[in-house]
Amino acid sequence: MRKQIAAANWKMNLTYQQGEELLDSILKEEISLEKDQQVVFAVPFPYLIMAAEKLKGRKNYFGSAQNCSDKKSGAYTGEVSAEMLHSIHITHCVLGHSERREYFSEFNQALAHKAELCLEYNITPIFCCGEPLSIREVGAEEGFVEAQLKESLFHFSEDQIRKIVIAYEPIWAIGTGMTATTAQAQEMHAHIRFLLASKYSKNTADIIPILYGGSVKAGNAKELFSCPDVDGGLVGGASLVAADFCSIIRALK
């Protein structure tokens, strides 16, 4: 079975102490995971070592960065490289979140470099894609997401693409309380899997986890995750409340 993943994206929220408290409250629940289930915490850079320490020895729990540089190393003040993340034992990195695309001008080509560097340092990219409302309103969402995948990921070999996690996050559903319907989520996830199968193979498409993101809550996670092509969620707001995120973890297939 494909991996089923509940991923928390804290974004730029919580102080260090609040972050510690939140992680402690979630971990004390000792939610036991099936072999193919994973929980990922994408925390701000200064909290990564703390998160990695707390998650050490917890099977199938991982810390993640929310971004990394598209440059390998050197004179890039303020940037954090994939190699640096690797050196502190971070195993995952969110790439191409729509907030980074919109506010920090991240484009498909730079994201391709980021994904390459992550793979070079054994870091699993959680690659985000998804369309704005204006694109969905004219029915062009499938082509929009297809271009994002093609331009950032489809140069990878079959071995490499198998190491990537995809997160479909329709921008109109992020932080708005406007969740995609299960039909909308399933339709796009199935389309992404179809694209992967066409470019690579059905076998490969079948093992790549595709997470849904956009107003996932304790109350809707089970229904969303029950879609055959939805393999968990990338969760913003609801991942900041211990009880809610625990319910979302428990909703994994």
Positions in the binding site for ligand 13P (CB under 6 A):
9, 97, 169, 174-175, 213-216, 234-238
Grouping H, G, I as helix, E, B as strand and the rest as coil, residue 6 is strand
CB of 85: closest distance to ligand 13P in angstroms?
18
Contact (Cβ atoms closer than 8 angstroms) between residue 168 and residue 205:
no
Smallest gap from Cβ 63 to ligand 13P, in A, equals: 16
Which residue number, 115 or 200, has a Cβ lying nearer to ligand 13P?
Answer: 115
Nearer to ligand 13P, 10 or 200 (CB): 10
Q: Are 58 and 91 in contact (CB under 8 A)?
A: no
* Closest distance of CB 185 from ligand 13P, Å: 13
Question: How would DSSP label each residue in 147-167?
Answer: HHHHHHTTTS-HHHHTT-EEE
Nearest CB to ligand 13P, comparing residues 192 and 216: 216
CB-based contact 143:136 (threshold 8 Å): no
Which residue, 116 or 169, is less far from ligand 13P as judged by CB?
169
Q: How far is the CB of 216 from ligand 13P (least distance, A)?
A: 5
The one catalytic residue in 97, 99, 106, 141 is 97
β-sheet bridge partners, residue 129: 168
**131 labelled catalytic:** no
CB-nearer residue toward ligand 13P: 99 or 229: 99
Q: 113 an active-site residue?
A: no
Number of H-type helices and E-type strands within the chain:
12, 8
Cβ atoms of 26 and 253 closer than 8 Å: no
Tell me the angle at which helices 16-27 and 242-250 cross, rounded to the nearest 10 degrees: 40
In whole angstroms, the minimum distance from the beta carbon of 74 to ligand 13P comes to 29
Please report which residue ranges of the chain form alpha helices under DSSP H: 16-27, 48-55, 82-87, 98-103, 108-120, 133-137, 141-152, 158-161, 182-199, 202-207, 221-225, 242-250
Find, among 188, 174, 172, 125, the residue nearest to 152 by Cα. Answer: 125
Catalytic residue among 106, 116, 141, 169: 169
Report d(CA 206, CA 162) in Å as an integer: 10
Residues forming the active site: 97, 169
